[in-house]
Structure 1
Amino acid sequence: MRLFSMTRTSCAVAAASLFATACAFGPSGNPPAMPEPAHYGAEEQSTQTVPAQGITQQFVVGANAVPQWWRTFESNELNALVDEGLRNSPTLAAADRNLTAAREQLRAQIGSNMLPAIDAGGQAARQRALGIPEAGPNTFLYNTFVGQLQAQYTFDIFGAARLANAALASRVNVQAFQFNAARRALAANIVTAAVSAAMLDAQVKTTERLVTLADEQARDTQRRYDLGAVSHSDLLNAQQSAASLAASLPAARQQLLTTRHALAVLLGSTPDAAPPPLDLASLHVPERVPVSVPSDLLKARPDIEAADATLKAAAADVGVATAQMYPSITLNASMGQGGFSWPVALSGAGALWSIGASITQPIFHGGALFAQRRAALASYEAATSQYKQTVLTAFQNVADTLAALEHDAQSLDAANVAARAAQRAFEETSAKYRLGAVPVTSTRSSEQQYLNARLDEIRYTGARLNDTAALFQAMGNPPAEEARAESVSTGAGPIAQ
């Protein structure tokens, strides 16, 4: 009993030692420590923008990312477009199916290398064998009937199979995070395209009015020239101005159509089914925008999570390459019935069975195993550097969008002041014209100044909306419980390891 106890203790110690060795075969896979800047940009970020069009955007530092953030624009038409795109996008559907296929491949690999393989086989044959001429006829005919079960299992002593499964699971997680990133990017692209289409539509309509005014001005100048009231150079200048405006209009219309076609494809439709442009005035700028702290951003952005999962897969690959240098033990067993006739094969005399084990220890492979491990280590170091670059790029993304929103508000405020002033001047000139105090050319010129100022306001309004969408997108996923709620409808949660 004492010998049995000592043997059992020795086996337990050996097993623990082997497990610890397997765990230490590769790097931990934990992401490298990254600096946490006090603020994202080169300048300390403000807590709010300047007021523009009566709206002051507040940056809520430390707030969580917003799920379905596009709904904060308070447009039912925009919400319907995003919902349609998420439901019908072929690109998103393909990514979802690829993710499902990757998960099934992981299940297949786990089942094949962690559980015994059991196969059933049967054989019935009639054979002709050569005999010995000195002993008689030189040909023998006989039948064989065999049926058996075969089992095989390779013990994962040094963790090669476990680490290979961990590597594949991490790569499945990469696809899951990339799917989430693609889903959010699709929503952002739909919002951006819809805002751009609304902005371009407003610009085209404003430009069309400017073209009309320029044509009227050219015709009026022509009449005045015919009467000798203006010089020929004045006529040429008026005609050149009208022609230049008319030449800019087709390009603006083309840009609008291109944006609408792109939006239709994002929605999973053909370009001829492109939705009409939204009314720019129906889109409201969210007043409160979340700004996650850098430490939370590392856990919220799908691209960073994908880089982290890639790092873990590379670390597991190092462990696999190391474990392949150690022995592997395989157990084989079979049982069945066989004989030269059916009665014999089905009787007790036809019982067949075998059991055995084999051990393999790599000794010489021309340096291939060492080279594979060095390659795995190099890939792990590359994944570490890629993770760092992904984090730095994410910080830059947030810094750029924060700065853009501040500058958008400043530009929009100035453009709005200019547009209001030009509008008041136009209204006053129109009133004077109705009283006969000024000629129609003054009214026309005043309206042109107002419309040009309005074009700038429209452009900065669209830029502010798009940059707000970009900041929401840059903040990444919502908190874990909300992310799980979203994944219920998409089936896009990561694989737990």
Structure 2
Amino acid sequence: MSHLDIQRRVPGWCALAAASLLAAGCALGPDGKPPAMPSPAHYGADAAPAQTVAAGGVTQRFDVGAEPMPQWWRLYRSDALDALVDEGLRNSPTLAAAKQSLASAREQLRAQIGSSLLPSIDASGQATRQRNLGIPEAGPNTVLYNVFVGQLQLHYTFDLFGAARYANAALGERVDVQAFELDATRRALAANIVAGAINVAMLKQQIDVTERLVTLASETAAEDEKRYTLGAVAHAQSLASRQSAAALAANLPALRQQYAASRHALAVLLGRTPDAAPEPLDLASLSLPSSVPVVVPSTLLRARPDIRAADAAVKVAAAEVGVATAQLFPSLSLTASMGQGGFSWANALSGAGALWSIGGSLTQPLFHGGALLAQRRAAVDAYQAALEQYKAAVLSAFQNVADSLAALEHDAQTLDATDTQARAAQQAFTETDARHRLGAVPATAARQSEQQYLSVQLDAIRAQAQRLSDTAMLFQAMGELPAVQGG
């Protein structure tokens, strides 16, 4: 719900009064429209291709002009991944805290609108018993009496120059900023869960492959040690084999640490404790989306929550210029009270006990040491800063999309090359292993061929995971169009 929805809940007569004041007054601040931004023909320095090269059996198509996908992670066609994202969106304390902060901000807006546009009415009652000294000439007698008073008090400040209206608008736009930031937090959480799950799956496969490499290297080192003992190989070869096995084994602790840390981070994103980290996904179970939307720049300005938040921040700054300007003009307040009072209950409730008062006050600032003018200049400077920050947010969004598009094209090229290399290495290993089983080559040759294949396989695993992650980042960069509100 936007701040406009909240203001609509103010009683009708108050809304009409505010509208009449707006019509009668003049604009004391800028209109709050964001600056016009260029609409580039394409995001990057070079136009993105219509599709990537074929890699891993998938050619990704860039669907230019399509609308962004709200639940894009479902395109990976993994029920396990969907369950992780749904759990994170449901249980993340960070997201829950952002939701509660937004709810609090909306209630504060309702409170400010009610207090600034409606009169305040308070009821008070007082019953006292007093003892005063008597009249000196009459002797030392004292006077004891009771006082009973009940009153209704009304106070209302007329928004002659729109100070309250501008203040409400500023607070309302701040609420919208928080709403857009909540949307950005939600989308970032989903993207981080997807990227985290892919990273965990990649590290698990890397550990499995590296463990096999260590086993093969250790077997080669043990064989070379025996051959050196028999005088079949030089001592240098035996030492080199042992060094190679130790170097591969040294990679495992770092990989296992990354794997553990990534699982712990993923658990926290889901709202779990690290000891309840989910089991890793199988990287092969994730289907790479074959089509990704590429929204046009004008649509991106409406779809990215960070840009919409910057837009709302411009409106906040514009309204605060209006507040600072309105403070230079007179303010008019009305106070009134009515009630009953007397020295006994009977007198207080009789017609003779009627009490009432009415009055108004008009205040015109004359001299505040230049503070009011300085505050207005500060508000104008803040508005200019907000305009520049909006421009920076738009340019950053364009760069984000451009980098993501370039990354997908380069990821496909990398994966295509590593896949070709991996297939060749696998074929070489298959042939060498078959020759070893026939006795044509020694076991050492088969192990070396398998080691070469597994080393290339490590690169292929990284390339596959990078392509999956960068696809998620592009979906994230596209944003999400706001839902159409029903009438």
TM exceeding 0.5: yes
Matched-pair contact (CA < 8 Å) for 1:181–1:303: yes
- Looking at structure 2, the residues matched to 404 and 463 of structure 1 have their Cα atoms a distance apart, in angstroms, of 9
Matched-pair contact (CA < 8 Å) for 2:124–2:150: yes
Aligned equivalent of 2:67:
64
- Looking at structure 2, the residues matched to 479 and 90 of structure 1 have their Cα atoms a distance apart, in angstroms, of 24
Matched-pair contact (CA < 8 Å) for 1:31–1:384: yes
Aligned equivalent of 2:5:
none
Deviation at 1:331, TM superposition (A): 1.3
Q: Secondary structure at the match of 2:440?
A: coil
Matched-pair contact (CA < 8 Å) for 2:130–2:144: yes
Aligned equivalent of 1:425:
428
1:76 is matched with which residue: 68, 74, 79?
A: 79
- Looking at structure 2, the residues matched to 374 and 18 of structure 1 have their Cα atoms a distance apart, in angstroms, of 25
2:118 is matched with which residue: 115, 128, 142?
A: 115
* Letter paired with 2:36: A
- Looking at structure 1, the residues matched to 401 and 437 of structure 2 have their Cα atoms a distance apart, in angstroms, of 53
Runs of 5+ unmatched residues, structure 1: 1-14, 486-497
Residues 232 and 16 of structure 1: is their aligned pair in 2 closer, same or farther, counting only changes over 3 Å? closer
Aligned equivalent of 1:254:
257
1:359-386, Cα deviation, whole Å (9 max, x unpaired): 1111111111111101111111111111
1:63-115, Cα deviation, whole Å (9 max, x unpaired): 11101111111111000000111111111111111111000000000111110
* Letter paired with 1:364: F
2:471 is matched with which residue: 464, 468, 471?
A: 468
Aligned equivalent of 2:207:
204
1:26 is the counterpart of 2:29 = yes
1:19-39, Cα deviation, whole Å (9 max, x unpaired): 457441001100001111111
Aligned equivalent of 2:397:
394
Q: Secondary structure at the match of 1:446?
A: helix
2:362 is matched with which residue: 359, 362, 366?
A: 359
* Letter paired with 1:125: T
Aligned equivalent of 1:435:
438
Matched-pair contact (CA < 8 Å) for 2:341–2:348: yes
1:333 is the counterpart of 2:339 = no
Aligned equivalent of 2:302:
299
CA RMSD of superposed structures (Å): 1.7
Q: Secondary structure at the match of 1:152?
A: strand
Q: Secondary structure at the match of 1:63?
A: coil
Runs of 5+ unmatched residues, structure 2: 1-17
Deviation at 1:478, TM superposition (A): 3.4
* Letter paired with 1:31: P
Q: Secondary structure at the match of 2:416?
A: helix
Matched-pair contact (CA < 8 Å) for 1:19–1:157: no
- Looking at structure 2, the residues matched to 434 and 76 of structure 1 have their Cα atoms a distance apart, in angstroms, of 42
1:241 is the counterpart of 2:244 = yes
2:388 is matched with which residue: 377, 385, 390?
A: 385
Aligned equivalent of 1:449:
452
Aligned equivalent of 1:494:
none
- Looking at structure 2, the residues matched to 385 and 129 of structure 1 have their Cα atoms a distance apart, in angstroms, of 69
* Letter paired with 2:181: Q
Aligned equivalent of 2:187:
184
- Looking at structure 1, the residues matched to 117 and 244 of structure 2 have their Cα atoms a distance apart, in angstroms, of 78
Matched-pair contact (CA < 8 Å) for 1:426–1:446: yes
Matched-pair contact (CA < 8 Å) for 1:327–1:360: yes
Q: Secondary structure at the match of 2:261?
A: helix
- Looking at structure 1, the residues matched to 58 and 468 of structure 2 have their Cα atoms a distance apart, in angstroms, of 12
* Letter paired with 2:178: Q
Matched-pair contact (CA < 8 Å) for 1:22–1:319: no
Q: Secondary structure at the match of 2:62?
A: strand
State TM-score, norm by structure 2. 0.94
Matched-pair contact (CA < 8 Å) for 2:340–2:354: yes
Comparing 472-481 and 364-373, the one that deviates more: 472-481
- Looking at structure 2, the residues matched to 395 and 144 of structure 1 have their Cα atoms a distance apart, in angstroms, of 73
Matched-pair contact (CA < 8 Å) for 1:88–1:267: yes
- Looking at structure 1, the residues matched to 450 and 60 of structure 2 have their Cα atoms a distance apart, in angstroms, of 31
1:284 is matched with which residue: 278, 281, 287?
A: 287
- Looking at structure 1, the residues matched to 288 and 76 of structure 2 have their Cα atoms a distance apart, in angstroms, of 6
* Letter paired with 2:415: L
Aligned equivalent of 1:8:
none
Matched-pair contact (CA < 8 Å) for 2:21–2:159: no
Q: Secondary structure at the match of 1:376?
A: helix
Residues 430 and 306 of structure 1: is their aligned pair in 2 closer, same or farther, counting only changes over 3 Å? same
Matched-pair contact (CA < 8 Å) for 2:302–2:481: no
1:101-140, Cα deviation, whole Å (9 max, x unpaired): 0000000001111101000000011122344312544632
Residues 58 and 129 of structure 1: is their aligned pair in 2 closer, same or farther, counting only changes over 3 Å? same
Residues 314 and 182 of structure 1: is their aligned pair in 2 closer, same or farther, counting only changes over 3 Å? same
Aligned equivalent of 1:6:
none
* Letter paired with 2:164: A
- Looking at structure 1, the residues matched to 131 and 180 of structure 2 have their Cα atoms a distance apart, in angstroms, of 62
- Looking at structure 1, the residues matched to 280 and 330 of structure 2 have their Cα atoms a distance apart, in angstroms, of 67
1:129 is the counterpart of 2:93 = no
2:323 is matched with which residue: 297, 305, 320?
A: 320
Matched-pair contact (CA < 8 Å) for 1:298–1:305: yes
State TM-score, norm by structure 1. 0.92
Comparing 21-30 and 33-42, the one that deviates more: 21-30
Q: Secondary structure at the match of 1:311?
A: helix
- Looking at structure 1, the residues matched to 118 and 19 of structure 2 have their Cα atoms a distance apart, in angstroms, of 21
Matched-pair contact (CA < 8 Å) for 1:22–1:323: no
Deviation at 1:40, TM superposition (A): 0.7
Residues 17 and 267 of structure 1: is their aligned pair in 2 closer, same or farther, counting only changes over 3 Å? closer
* Identity score, percent: 69
In the TM superposition, 1:145-224 aligns within 5 A as: 145-224=148-227
Q: Secondary structure at the match of 2:129?
A: strand
1:434-459, Cα deviation, whole Å (9 max, x unpaired): 21111111111111111011000000
Comparing 344-353 and 457-466, the one that deviates more: 344-353
1:215-259, Cα deviation, whole Å (9 max, x unpaired): 011011111111111100010110000000001111111111110
Aligned equivalent of 1:43:
46
* Letter paired with 2:184: A
* Letter paired with 1:234: Q
Task: Count matched residues.
Answer: 470
Deviation at 1:330, TM superposition (A): 1.1
- Looking at structure 2, the residues matched to 458 and 40 of structure 1 have their Cα atoms a distance apart, in angstroms, of 29
Deviation at 1:141, TM superposition (A): 2.1
- Looking at structure 2, the residues matched to 23 and 471 of structure 1 have their Cα atoms a distance apart, in angstroms, of 45
